Chain A
């Protein structure tokens, strides 16, 4: 099989950041098996569609989009509740107020936080991954920040 030129770059990304991809996927799907499946299929999507990558945005962000989309599909397919909400209610842990506030964030805000924190992506890479504008990433992060800070300060008080 002739491998397109982007394959080595995508493979390097996989080997370097698998743990981050898996962690973000797990944050979305809520379980390890679905997360692993999402990462594998997401990267397979990236390879299959590599000739469609226009090069206008960062490649890493585009690969993240493939993985995040797979993870979201997996979650929809499994009809799972947001995983953080499950964890909040599982009763085995006395979660901090911050975790509870995270669970209450809207999906896009949670995703932006995960990609920013777990994957350490730049704004434009997050924008590419979530197919939104860079300015929207910034606004979303600020909104998440405000929500989390308010809850955090209430807890401290």
Chain B
């Protein structure tokens, strides 16, 4: 029995609120039709798809699973470690992007009167991040007698691998190339006139010659191993009579091949199919066999201007980071700019721009996980140094105010 029955006005109030409806709108067949329609749709959904469609779904799921595992492994293996700085200083300097400032992991022996300044340059982390190679020596007359060294990641166990003389020091950039398996190091070595490329085992042993830079060749520099470890790419400085360019050569020293005339600073794409480099036209890319050469940063450069240079592929091979030095500005000065773009030259984006009076720089490099970029610029001593920035241009941070850096190498944090 309802407790509302004692309220005589309630019925009237509710009737006023919601008047009695019209039962003539009842339509049972409409209800049944709604059920039938839904059932039909459900039955269609349940119908077994064609075997080819099922196979495609299985393959797609398998691909997604493998991609997920690969990505997780990639991120796990390629996590960011320390950044090593090379330059005009007698120590191998290292900075943790997320930690305190610089610290030295390897230096020079005690200085003796009459000896020149000691330099540690061209640091290069091994692919697994457990070792670091570098060149070290003292200025003090010509020819130079620098040597190639390797040490553990913490700077202990320094071992001299080879005398390399100038070791490519008069050409800005990285001249040490680790093989992908971490067993070999390629480097520039001079014979008193020209520099050729040599290869040594990372554990020591007798180096072997890779290239022969003779007449009409001023030097072979910046060796880079292909991702499959079978070939190397390098730049050859030529002469007026015989211009240099970008060459490839097999790891055993055979198969020397010119793939682009006049370029420098070559880098393999992560998939090994292409090589990016710079020349008087800016950044260009060419297939590994020398075909399909195309400019990525077309433009006209005024007298005294330097085209974009020093390309570096992102670890996933989709983007390139490069350096631009627009100018000349006041008193023949230059700016430093860091740009990224897609592998086909589209989607250019400027991430950084310094003030005028660029003095030193180290070309930009990607972090092992591809999320950040590191570079060094020195213009204003108060504002210069080594920086990291997110690949999307956010989060610029100065890691160090040390302004005399010409090479950077970002360590892949060792497993465990």
Query: Is A111 positioned at the interface, with any CB of B under 8 Å from its CB?
Result: no
Distance to closest chain B CB from A126 (angstroms)? 11
Using A14-B31, A44-B38 as known contacts, say yes or no to A141 and B3 having CB atoms under 8 A apart.
yes
Please report the C-alpha to C-alpha distance between residue A22 and residue B14 in the assembled complex, in whole angstroms: 14
Q: Are B2 and A40 in contact (CB under 8 A)?
A: no
Query: Is B35 positioned at the interface, with any CB of A under 8 Å from its CB?
Result: yes
Q: Is the interface of A mostly helix, strand, loop or mixed?
A: helix
Query: Is A26 positioned at the interface, with any CB of B under 8 Å from its CB?
Result: yes
Please report the C-alpha to C-alpha distance between residue A125 and residue B366 in the assembled complex, in whole angstroms: 68
Please report the C-alpha to C-alpha distance between residue A32 and residue B16 in the assembled complex, in whole angstroms: 15
Q: Are B28 and A11 in contact (CB under 8 A)?
A: yes
Distance to closest chain B CB from A87 (angstroms)? 6
Please report the C-alpha to C-alpha distance between residue A23 and residue B31 in the assembled complex, in whole angstroms: 18
Look across to chain A and name the residue whose beta carbon is closest to the beta carbon of B6. Answer: A149
List the A side residues contacting B25 at CB < 8 Å: 18, 22, 36
Using A27-B17, A36-B25, A141-B3 as known contacts, say yes or no to A117 and B31 having CB atoms under 8 A apart.
no
Query: Is A104 positioned at the interface, with any CB of B under 8 Å from its CB?
Result: no
Query: Is B21 positioned at the interface, with any CB of A under 8 Å from its CB?
Result: yes
Q: Are B2 and A43 in contact (CB under 8 A)?
A: no
Query: Is B115 positioned at the interface, with any CB of A under 8 Å from its CB?
Result: no
Please report the C-alpha to C-alpha distance between residue A19 and residue B34 in the assembled complex, in whole angstroms: 20
Look across to chain A and name the residue whose beta carbon is closest to the beta carbon of B14. Answer: A117
> Pick the contact of A118 from B14, B30, B32, B39 — CB < 8 Å?
B14
List the B side residues contacting A23 at CB < 8 Å: 18, 20-21
Using A18-B26, A23-B18, A116-B2 as known contacts, say yes or no to A47 and B13 having CB atoms under 8 A apart.
no
Q: Mark A23-52, 1 if CB is under 8 A from B, else 0.
A: 100110000100110001101100110000
Using A1-B39, A41-B34, A47-B31 as known contacts, say yes or no to A19 and B23 having CB atoms under 8 A apart.
yes
Please report the C-alpha to C-alpha distance between residue A69 and residue B146 in the assembled complex, in whole angstroms: 83
Q: Are B13 and A99 in contact (CB under 8 A)?
A: yes
Q: Are B26 and A44 in contact (CB under 8 A)?
A: no
List the B side residues contacting A22 at CB < 8 Å: 21-23, 25
| Residues of B in contact, count (CB < 8 Å) | 29
Q: Are A44 and B16 in contact (CB under 8 A)?
A: no
Please report the C-alpha to C-alpha distance between residue A96 and residue B20 in the assembled complex, in whole angstroms: 18
Distance to closest chain A CB from B39 (angstroms)? 7
Q: Mark A69-102, 1 if CB is under 8 A from B, else 0.
A: 0000000000000011001000001011011001
> Pick the contact of A44 from B9, B13, B35 — CB < 8 Å?
B35
List the A side residues contacting B34 at CB < 8 Å: 40-41, 44
List the B side residues contacting A152 at CB < 8 Å: 7, 9
List the A side residues contacting B111 at CB < 8 Å: none
Query: Is B10 positioned at the interface, with any CB of A under 8 Å from its CB?
Result: yes
Query: Is B36 positioned at the interface, with any CB of A under 8 Å from its CB?
Result: yes
List the A side residues contacting B3 at CB < 8 Å: 141-142, 145
Query: Is A62 positioned at the interface, with any CB of B under 8 Å from its CB?
Result: no
Please report the C-alpha to C-alpha distance between residue A14 and residue B28 in the assembled complex, in whole angstroms: 7
Look across to chain B and name the residue whose beta carbon is closest to the beta carbon of A103. Answer: B17
Look across to chain A and name the residue whose beta carbon is closest to the beta carbon of B9. Answer: A98
Please report the C-alpha to C-alpha distance between residue A142 and residue B18 in the assembled complex, in whole angstroms: 21
Residues of B in contact with A (beta carbons under 8 Å apart): 2-4, 7, 9-14, 16-18, 20-23, 25-28, 30-32, 34-36, 38-39
Residues of A in contact with B (beta carbons under 8 Å apart): 1, 11, 14-15, 18-19, 22-23, 26-27, 32, 35-36, 40-41, 43-44, 47-48, 83-84, 87, 93, 95-96, 98-99, 102-103, 113-114, 116-118, 141-142, 145, 148-149, 152
Q: List 6 A-B contacts (CB under 8 A).
A: A18-B26, A26-B18, A83-B18, A99-B13, A117-B10, A117-B14
Q: Which 7 A-B pairs have the closest CB atoms?
A: A98-B13, A44-B34, A18-B26, A19-B23, A22-B21, A27-B18, A43-B31
Known: A40-B34, A87-B17. 17 other contacts (CB 8 A): A14-B28, A18-B25, A19-B22, A40-B27, A44-B31, A47-B32, A95-B16, A98-B7, A99-B13, A99-B16, A102-B13, A102-B17, A114-B14, A117-B2, A117-B14, A141-B3, A142-B3
